[in-house]
């Protein structure tokens, strides 16, 4: 498999402050995982800076200007979890611009899929608010540009924290399907199974909230049950918020995935995405060793060779959560 890999040295210069879990070293760990994936031909590329018009498809003009001003004036804290420094502006623009560069290169047939090793992450960023380590919503910027071309988009979000920003931006857009697996209750407090979208988009938001202690057995069953729903939606592109903080070694959450589970996740999105139309965006994941190994496993899964390994078992409550979520969306979409 040919994999397009976009990253840039500017991402290492972004900082949330000392001792912050979303730290520059994550970039090297994820990139090392990409390059460690076996049997993959990796094409390296540099992401361009997003333009204001790209950002303003999903963010307010005043918010974009405020982030630029905040960074240029020295940075600081945007909220208790989210910081920035002067170099964060360049990093944020390139993170937001990476997806559209991947789209262009995949359209040209340069690769079969893409993995974007970027930071700051994006899926918590709202239209006019930074939060959860995120400045601009990288995956939403790309999705909005695809929607503007008349494309149908599925976003699969397996970060352990619900992508509240992404969901909010497309909650009433019937041409975008949002599928999220996440721990609940947990930050940011959204993503219950009855959040299904609004008006004509009712049923295009699918939330799978999972209790602490959930292991990969539930994820693997969920993938089997969700695949027909994604195929029925018939996306032109599949975009992935690829967070790795549901790993059992991660310090910020309480789920119990292992590398082989991420291989199964990669295999699942590789199967539902049209050929050459899969882009994965790095989101969370804060144990560096687990991050490296899980990224490699994901890519091997996309290539159809997920690594072997047994999942951790889950409590009964996790199976109950899964069934309630699936029942809820099934009632909407039939």
Give dist(CA 220, CA 222) in Å, integer: 5
Three-class SS of residue 44?
strand
Please confirm, yes or no, whether 182 is among the known catalytic residues: no
Catalytic position from the list 5, 14, 124, 161: 124
Query: 146 near 120, Cβ under 8 Å?
Result: no
Residue 132 backbone class (left: φ over 0; alpha: ψ -120 to 50; beta: rest): left
Distance separating alpha carbons of residues 271 and 294, to the nearest angstrom: 19
Sequential DSSP letters for 58-104? TS-HHHHHHHHHHHHTT-EESSSS-EE-TTHHHHHHHHHHHHHHHHH
Asked if 213 and 246 count as a contact pair (C-beta separation under 8 A), the reply is no
Distance separating alpha carbons of residues 298 and 264, to the nearest angstrom: 7
3-state helix, strand, coil in the chain (%, to 5): 40, 15, 40
The helix (run of H) or strand (run of E) holding residue 164 is: helix 164-169
Active site residues: 124
């Amino acid at each position: 498999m040919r994999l397009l890999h976009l990253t840039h040295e500017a991402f290492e210069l972004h900082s949330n402050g000392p001792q912050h879990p979303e730290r520059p070293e994550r970039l090297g760990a994820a990139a090392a995982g990409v390059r460690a994936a076996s049997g993959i031909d990796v094409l390296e590329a540099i992401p361009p800076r997003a333009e204001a018009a790209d950002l303003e498809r999903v963010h307010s003009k005043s918010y974009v200007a405020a982030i630029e001003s905040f960074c240029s004036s020295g940075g600081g804290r945007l909220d208790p979890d989210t910081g920035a420094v002067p170099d964060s502006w360049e990093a944020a623009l390139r993170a937001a611009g990476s997806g559209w560069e991947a789209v262009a290169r995949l359209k040209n047939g340069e690769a079969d899929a893409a993995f974007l090793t970027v930071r700051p992450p994006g899926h918590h960023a709202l239209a006019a608010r930074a939060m959860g380590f995120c400045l601009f919503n990288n995956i939403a910027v790309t999705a909005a540009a695809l929607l503007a071309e008349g494309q149908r988009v599925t976003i699969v979000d397996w970060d352990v924290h619900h992508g509240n920003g992404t969901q909010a931006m497309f909650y009433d857009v019937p041409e975008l399907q949002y599928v999220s697996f996440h721990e609940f209750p947990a930050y940011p407090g959204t993503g219950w199974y009855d959040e299904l979208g609004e008006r004509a988009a009712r049923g295009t938001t699918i939330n799978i909230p999972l209790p602490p202690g959930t292991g990969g057995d539930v994820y693997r069953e969920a993938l089997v049950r969700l695949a027909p729903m994604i195929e029925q939606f018939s996306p032109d592109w599949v975009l992935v918020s690829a967070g790795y903080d549901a790993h059992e070694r991660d310090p910020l959450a309480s789920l119990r995935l292992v590398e082989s589970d991420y291989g199964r996740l990669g295999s699942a999105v590789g199967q539902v995405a049209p050929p050459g139309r899969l882009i994965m965006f790095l989101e969370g994941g804060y144990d560096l060793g687990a991050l490296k190994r899980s990224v490699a496993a994901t890519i091997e899964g996309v290539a159809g060779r997920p690594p072997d390994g047994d999942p951790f078992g889950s409590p009964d409550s996790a199976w109950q959560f899964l069934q309630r979520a699936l029942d809820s969306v099934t009632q909407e979409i039939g």
